[in-house]
Amino acid sequence: MQRRIRTCSAALATAVGLSVAALIAPQAAASPPGVPAPVGPWGSFYDPPSVLPGSAPGDVIREEPMSLALSVPSPTGAFPGSARRIMYRSVDDDGNPLAVTGTYFEPSTPWAGGGPRPLISLASGTIGEGRQCAPSIAMSSLLHYRPPLDLSIAYEQFAVDYLLTQGIAVVFTDYVGLGTPGPHPYGNRAASARAVIDAARAAQRLPGTSLDPSGPVGFWGYSQGGHAAGAAAELQPSYAPELNVAGTYAGAPPVKLDDTLARAEGSTLIGAVGYYLNGVVRTDPEIAPVLDRVLNDEGKAMVATTGDQCVAQTLLTYSFQRTSQWTTTGESLGAAVVGDPVGARVVADQALGNLTPGAPVLLAINVNDDAVPYERVHELAGIWRSRGVPVTLHTLTIPPILPGTAAGHGIPEFTHVPTAAAWMVDRFHGLPVPS
């Protein structure tokens, strides 16, 4: 029935003309067998073959060596590690196979703990909506730049390198629709979770690594990545029960997207709503008529513009605006979308807390976070604890810094890395979970 509803909704979206459908970044068609994939500014590696090799989520489609801007020679190889760009199989909501790209990092530092080397599957914070914003593209040179304003920075490299120095291998997903054909389903709980989980599967199946196929795994992410890591922790028991998950670090996760959107009103991050709207029509086409009715011409132009942007350009274009200027009624976009039954259901589907992780979780949030409501993360910790999940909540107390600029949200991502890494190392060592 769900598939029929999706199919009928998609047909309805087409029938009504849908300015919204035109807003979505066009998807690149797969190449016919024997025909080379087209080369875009992101490189031909990211264009999936028309028939995906393998048969199961996590199977490796292709891989190639990848140079890192921040590495130095050492007696045990490049320090803090070497990298390989990978493409692997995942699935969409209906179980259809799709390709996702990412990066595998092999540490040059030995693992000091007992047992096999652990692996962390890392999910990025907000980086953009265009294909060229894929983390693996920026990580080869620390940034991606395309004149005049298209810019993405590999700001997660600090966390990756810190984990590598602990002897922990890292696999870093690009998410669905970044690198590979878009649109990227930004903020989609299930798509993000599967990308993170299947990246871990792919890393453990990748030949020539120091990983044990049954070795311990952790999920890690902050902000958008915290939402993805928390979603992966919830989905893993049913989707990938074979993984030996030791723990999850979810920093400042947007637990409920409507609350996060309300917090973002008038801030530097408000343009990211365009990322979500571009992606949601891909995963939930029945919402397209809702958006076509709710968005005014300026709102539709915002969605079209952000569909091919990385976060730096979006910040420069839309910072400090309010979503009420993008709706036909003058109400906030969140209220307009959630006021429709279809919109309310689609937004509610992305919330964390409806499923239960099968391993310990570390949540972290600044009480003065100006992007993600502290109260929601605190509530999530209580929900999971009530179901028997060992949850550690780190409440950070950074004073308000330029509210509305996301400084109170972004700074803890970097300052909390050593503490989060120490918590993950303890989980890999099998130590008791602190309360």
- Any idea which fold 260-348 has? 434 Repressor (Amino-terminal Domain) (1.10.260)
Query: In whole angstroms, what is the distance from residue 352 CA to residue 252 CA?
Result: 12
299-309: burial string, b at 16+ Cβ within 10 Å, e else: bbebbbbbbbb
- DSSP H helical ranges for 27-169: 135-139, 157-165
Please give the average per-residue pLDDT across 165-180, as a whole number.
Answer: 97
Pairing of strands 97-107, 361-366: unpaired
Please give the average per-residue pLDDT across 268-272, as a whole number.
Answer: 93
Query: In whole angstroms, what is the distance from residue 379 CA to residue 161 CA?
Result: 32
34 or 163: whose pLDDT is higher? Answer: 163
Query: Would you say 224 and 254 are in contact if contact means Cβ atoms under 8 Å apart?
Result: yes
Map residue 379 onto helix, strand or coil. helix
Q: Is the pLDDT assigned to residue 154 strictly greater than 90?
A: no
Q: Respond yes or no on whether the N-terminal peptide bond of residue 289 is cis (omega within 30° of 0).
A: no
- Give residue limits of the domains in the chain: 41-256+356-428, 260-348
Closest by CA position to 252, among listed 110, 138, 415, 142: 415
Pairing of strands 244-251, 361-366: parallel
CATH number of 41-256+356-428: 3.40.50.1820
Please report the pLDDT score of residue 70 as a whole number: 67
Q: Is the pLDDT assigned to residue 33 strictly greater than 60?
A: no
- Tens of pLDDT, residue by residue over 105-121, are 999 999 998 899 999 99
Q: Respond yes or no on whether the N-terminal peptide bond of residue 183 is cis (omega within 30° of 0).
A: yes
| The model's pTM | 0.89
Assigned token pair, 421: 């890494």
Q: Is the pLDDT assigned to residue 39 strictly greater than 50?
A: no
Q: Which residue has the tokens 């590979």?
A: 180
Please report the pLDDT score of residue 76 as a whole number: 62
Q: Name residue 88's amino acid.
A: Y
Which contiguous run of DSSP H or E holds residue 289?
Answer: helix 288-294
- Tens of pLDDT, residue by residue over 74-103, are 666 678 889 999 999 999 999 999 999 999
Please give the average per-residue pLDDT across 168-184, as a whole number.
Answer: 96
Query: Would you say 261 and 334 are in contact if contact means Cβ atoms under 8 Å apart?
Result: yes
Q: Is the pLDDT assigned to residue 146 strictly greater than 90?
A: no
Mean pLDDT, rounded, of the chain:
88
Please give the average per-residue pLDDT across 162-181, as a whole number.
Answer: 96
Please report the pLDDT score of residue 139 as a whole number: 86
Query: Would you say 251 and 352 are in contact if contact means Cβ atoms under 8 Å apart?
Result: no
- 87, β-bridge pairs: 62, 101
Please report the pLDDT score of residue 142 as a whole number: 75
Q: Which residue has the tokens 């079209």?
A: 304
Please report the pLDDT score of residue 152 as a whole number: 77
391 or 20: whose pLDDT is higher? Answer: 391
- Tens of pLDDT, residue by residue over 318-348, are 999 999 999 999 999 999 999 999 999 999 9
Assigned token pair, 306: 């952000």
